[in-house]
Homo-oligomer: A and B are copies of this chain.
């Protein structure tokens, strides 16, 4: 990190007014942007280089950061150096460092050079892709790169560009699910008047309930079904519930199959669920937000895309493990017209001759917001500058490291695995019980070099290890075990576990 005394190339040169773009100054000065841009690029490079030296979690109290910031905006311009100084002194110490190699919490939200530069280009171009006409290349590049990813994942042609389907980028799996749910509700409403019902496993993501609440489903029409012992939606229970609902005059409207639950990475039996959904005319949405991108590896693909041919919609997040910085949710739908019919509200000022012909896609008709950033650039740059091979290798490495980590846990009599590794996620606990496990997790996270989060698995308090950080290496994953074993007070395992990563660092 830059020391505050060091000279900064983004500072105004002699003779240049210390205001930009001050009243009367240019609102965008290319030469100043070059200088200041380099400073920010260097700052980011320095930040990434310094990441391992930061504690992953900040040590701040509620309100502490806010209290260090001025209560009002300045009237006259301040320099980039002043802003970066405050970023360094006030903001960075209050961040949880999601790009830290020791970040194993939640799911990863990783980034990479190409994706950061793609986001930068998107901001620099500053175009809007709400309609095809508002920047044709933005819509067409998005269609193409999302289709590149579809092919890499081995998703069927019916989601491709040729037929009734299509793919797009949304901000998040939550928003994508909401749009599909609304389309399903409208489709169901067109053929009946009963109360529409939504189905998902109790372990499905919170966005199912959130989306259903937003879409106006009463709590009684949201079925969160018990899972089997491996955390999967039970087709028998789904079918019995749908049958009861249909018999009572309700309309089975929307079922979510989760490929990779948040708690433990469970993969619902999509093919069986899809068969039942077809029987009741129910929309099948596959939420593969986290696990989906692993289907780029042919050997992992079958368990991830099994049953996809029965899905009405299928979504995954390159912004989790595929090196595209948040936000980049890719959503494919089997019938783009059904989606657009549910969401299109085109006033006169947004109608265009070419849009009216149906020859082009106006992506704002597929989502909640009207405006659209040019998000395709960052996915394009990651796919081109990193390439399929390296992306696959990363998945394979992370899966292998997670298995190695799980072997350490399983070998320690104080611990037990609560759910076996699913791709690059494993959950475990102390045999001593929930309280001891929660206390251990708090101790581990306080130490600063790693951050893991928790979940409930089979009613037990579980520690989750989710591997996928950009900088995370095998040494970091095995080192995490060293930290955990040390915090658990098992000196034998500590030295054993620490011995290995040390050699590889």
Contacts and interface: CB of A to CB of B under 8 A. Distances in A.
A331 to B, nearest CB: 13
A41 B41 contact: yes
Interface in A27-53: 27-34, 36-38, 40-49
Contacts of A354: 62
A190 interface: no
B144 A66 contact: yes
Contacts of A138: 95
Copies in the complex: 2
A403 to B, nearest CB: 19
A73 interface: yes
A383 B70 CA distance: 12
Given A36-B117, A94-B136, A151-B72, A325 B126 contact: yes
Contact of A97 (B72, B127, B387): B127
A77 B45 contact: no
Given A33-B41, A36-B113, A48-B30, A348 B96 contact: no
Contact of A345 (B41, B73, B178, B213): B213
A37 B117 contact: yes
Contacts of A82: 384
A161 B121 CA distance: 35
Interface string A453-492: 1111000000010000011000000000000000000000
B23 A393 contact: yes
A371 interface: yes
A359 interface: yes
Contacts of A124: 40, 43-44, 47-48, 111, 116
Interface string A308-331: 000000000001000101110000
A299 interface: no
A258 B290 CA distance: 40
A156 interface: no
B113 A368 contact: no
Contact of A25 (B140, B152, B383, B390): B390
Interface stretch (A83-91, A239-247, A271-279, A407-415): A83-91
Nearest to A455: B349
A193 to B, nearest CB: 11
**Minimum-distance CB pairs A-B, first 4:** A216-B216, A94-B137, A37-B41, A44-B124
6 contacts: A27-B471, A44-B125, A69-B141, A109-B126, A119-B122, A263-B348
Given A30-B46, A78-B385, A207-B370, 6 more contacts: A40-B120, A62-B359, A65-B141, A73-B149, A76-B387, A182-B214
